[in-house]
Amino acid sequence: MGKMFELLKEGLEEAIEFHKGNVKLRTREVFIPDAPKNYSTKDIKNIRTKLGLTQKEFALWLNISLNTVQAWEQGSRSPNHSSLRLLEMFDKDFSFIKKILVNKKHSKQAPVKTSGGSSGSYSKSSMVAKAKH
């Protein structure tokens, strides 16, 4: 018999012994949350407004494009599953997000120009903290 058969047989035998009470197995409980709700266009705009963010800032926080945020708020597109989870986190406990925002506003970050870009342009990835020497 093949290796896969032997592994399955061993696993089934172990399951039978566990069921009989002859073997104790390591167990671990894992919390699996319910699926997030489907946020409406109004819900999404309310979350963004509650956080005091512009559409562009909200897009940066969610790591999506400005066009995507606009499409969500206009109802022409809906958030995908991972975006719904992020929206849920922003919606349910935005105090954490506010703490991050406050820290960002008070931190000593300065934009750094990227090479190859137009004069005076900054990209999301060009934002870096000044090194303290």
Q: Let me know if residue 104 belongs to a domain.
A: yes
CATH of the domain at 83: 1.10.260.40
Res 99: pLDDT: 82
- Token pair 């406050």 is found at 102
- Read off the pLDDT of residues 25-55 as tens digits, 9 standing for 90 and up: 888 999 999 999 999 999 999 999 988 899 9
Q: Let me know if residue 47 belongs to a domain.
A: yes
How many Cβ atoms are within 10 Å of 15's Cβ, its own excluded? 12
- Read off the pLDDT of residues 51-99 as tens digits, 9 standing for 90 and up: 889 999 999 989 999 999 999 999 999 999 999 999 999 999 878 777 8
Domain hosting 95: range is 41-109
Integer Cα distance of 107 and 101 in angstroms:
10
Q: How many domains does the chain have?
A: 1
- Long-range interactions of 62-71: CB distance < 8 A, separation 24+: 62/86, 62/87, 69/44
Res 16: pLDDT: 93
Q: Let me know if residue 97 belongs to a domain.
A: yes
Q: Let me know if residue 62 belongs to a domain.
A: yes
Handedness of CA 13, 14, 19, 21 (dihedral sign): positive
Res 110: pLDDT: 53
